[in-house]
Amino acid sequence: MNLALIISFLKGTIGAATPILYAATGEIVSQRSGIMNLGLEGVMLMGAVSGYMVVLNTSNLALGIFTAAAVGLLIGLLFAFLTVTLQADQVVSGLSITLFGTGLSGYIGKSASTSALDLHFPTLKIPLLSKIPVVGDVLFDQDLMVYVLYAVVIAACIFIYKTKWGMQLRTIGENPRAADTLGINVYRTRYLYACVGSVLTALGGAYLTLCYTPLWFDGMTAGKGWIAVALVIFSGWNPAIAALGAILFGGISVLSLRLQLIDTSISSHFISMLPYLCTVAVLLIFTNKRSRGRNPSPSSLGQPYDREGR
């Protein structure tokens, strides 16, 4: 195979993996605190449409990103209020966020669904690093949001496993009552990480409309939020492994798109299913591990914490 084609495929893989990894990293942080948000699809759609509409009307990329992050923050606050303050069921609340975000994003973006952005984040070559053969072209000839993602994943790994605050985060996810007795404010901490997770997820959605595909159409995430949820499970709640998983899913997505462009006897419908078949396979593998007693999920995941309860 031509080297240029390999580099093009790998660059496309990084691009396809980026929105999924933004959402997965945010969800890992959230779930580490015991908060399970299954509304990633809705949050990504809201981030995508809000960033797109702002840039379409203002031609200001920074304002578009800021707006997407602000929308993610508001949704995160809403979800935290439901699940932490009101102690509503986290699964039901997450599904409600998905339905809400899907419907509202379609309504907001309806008037501009045929308009393409003339302005989007360009690729930026990092001096010296971009000169590394193959690796430089793939990893260091990307857009600004990809470089920010590199920093986010590295920071998340260091934060979770190497800092005092990360230890507190993991303690809350495993045993919130023990964390409370140590003086850690469980409610405030869960609010914080639910919001951080939602902001990162919204940025993943904004990446789709401001970098990857500079236009908006209803339901453009096409299940990427659900793939991110599966990726969290696949990674064992580890951002570094999630990055590898996102690259795998991204590669499968790019491959499925390219196979549809060539003359092949394989049905295009089956090819389109490939990323989702892999998602199902990941869930089956995890279920098998859990049945054998190997469950790396936080012990209090999905369980509301009542300080007065016994």
pLDDT by position in tens, the chain (length 310) = 588 888 888 999 999 999 999 999 999 999 999 999 999 999 999 999 999 999 998 989 999 999 999 999 999 999 999 999 999 999 999 999 999 999 999 999 888 766 778 777 888 898 888 888 888 989 999 999 999 999 999 999 999 999 999 999 999 999 999 999 888 999 999 999 999 999 999 999 999 999 988 889 888 998 899 999 988 988 889 999 999 989 988 888 888 777 766 656 666 566 667 777 776 776 677 666 655 656 678 889 988 888 776 4
CA-to-CA separations, 296 to 24, 229, 275, 286, 290, in angstroms, rounded: 16, 15, 24, 10, 8
Joined together, the tokens standing for residue 87 give 């102690």
* Per-residue model confidence (pLDDT) at position 34: 94
Listed in sequence order, the residues at least 6 apart from 28 whose beta carbon sits closer than 8 Å to its beta carbon are: 156, 160, 197, 232, 235, 237, 238, 239, 242
Q: Which amino acid is at 9?
A: F
Distance CA 59, CA 151 (A): 26
* Backbone region of residue 253 per phi and psi (left: phi > 0; alpha: psi in -120 to 50; beta: other values): alpha
Measuring CA to CA, which residue among 305, 297, 61 is closest to residue 185? Answer: 305
* Per-residue model confidence (pLDDT) at position 266: 65
* Per-residue model confidence (pLDDT) at position 120: 79
Measuring CA to CA, which residue among 54, 87, 86 is closest to residue 68? Answer: 54
User: Which residue do the tokens 């797109």 mark?
Assistant: 52
* Per-residue model confidence (pLDDT) at position 278: 73
